[in-house]
Amino acid sequence: MIFAEKISPNFNRKKRPRNMIKFLIIHYTGMQSERESINRLCDPNSKVSCHYLINSSGKIYRLVSEKNTSWHAGKSKWQKYRNLNSYSLGIELVNKGHRWGYKNFKAKQIKNLIKLCKYLKKKYNLKKQNILGHSDIAPLRKKDPGEKFPWKKLAKKQLGVWHDLKSETLQKMRKIKINKKDRKVFFSNLRKIGYFVKPSLKIKELNKITKAFQRHFRAELANGISDLECLKISINLSKKYQKKA
């Protein structure tokens, strides 16, 4: 693949062995404009970057070499992994995000994201389970890429995982309350999937993790409340994520 280059200085100078690369993490830029986003990701004072950025017309920029750890994920956790920067490639999609006017991702942008993900998945022999959003690995801090991101479409192309439940069946379960015992099952499934769930978390934190799960797997309603639909999806997915990352 051919990329346009923009050089970001925000990466670890020491190169990593290629078998350390296990995850693709998808972001949105969450800034007012493309230019502002690129400037920030290349500004030595910002201390943030990514490997690739895709603008709304689908143009792909490379900011940091895949061999280097770029600074896109921050404090993060997934399954047994901590601080996923070291184990991942970060891809930013230009989008104003929740703060400035969250927009649908453009068709060309997603088309080229799919191309890029296929290329990287093959190159590093990545598992489809390990293609995730920033909010999956940092649910207490992050919302990106958000509920407008087409996870199901990517999963159809083996880029990510999706459940195999019928949407008509699921819709009937939406907003149906679950009891305390089932809520426990729900969070235990989230942990099996990879989300960072532990007993000491506060209710507010658990709600944020629920929201992150919903943004990814039940984007029609991301309200932070686990209902019967969420429970069923979590049961189905926990089996699919059993294969460890």
Q: Which is nearer to Zn ion, 88 or 210 (CB)?
A: 88
136 binds Zn ion (CB under 5 A): no
- Asked if 154 contacts 128 with a C-beta cutoff of 8 angstroms, the reply is no
Shortest distance (Å) from residue 92 CB to Zn ion:
7
Q: How far apart are CA 26 and CA 37, in angstroms?
A: 15
- Contact mark string toward Zn ion, 21..50, x via CB under 5 A: ------x-----------------------
- Contact mark string toward Zn ion, 153..172, x via CB under 5 A: --------------------
Say which DSSP state 204 is in. H
Q: Is 5 a catalytic residue?
A: no
Enter the tokens of residue 160.
């990510």
Given the residues 34, 36, 92, 229, the one annotated as active site:
92
Stretch that binds Zn ion, among 81-89, 141-149, 156-164, 172-180 (CB under 5 A): 141-149
Stretch that binds Zn ion, among 113-121, 130-138, 187-195, 226-234 (CB under 5 A): 130-138
Q: How far apart are CA 47 and CA 41, in angstroms?
A: 8
Strands 77-78, 81-82: pairing is antiparallel
Enter the tokens of residue 111.
């088309």
Q: How many residues does the chain have?
A: 245
Sole binder of Zn ion in the list 136, 144, 147, 229 (CB under 5 A): 144
How many other CB atoms sit within 10 Å of the CB of residue 19? Answer: 8
Number of amino acids touching Zn ion (CB under 5 A): 3
232 binds Zn ion (CB under 5 A): no
Buried b / exposed e over 76-109, threshold 16 CB at 10 Å, is bbbbebeebbebbbbbbbbbbbeeeebeebbeeb
Stretch that binds Zn ion, among 14-22, 50-58, 96-104, 134-142 (CB under 5 A): 134-142
Q: Which is nearer to Zn ion, 134 or 232 (CB)?
A: 134
Residues with a catalytic annotation lie at: 92
Binding site for Zn ion (CB under 5 A): 27, 134, 144
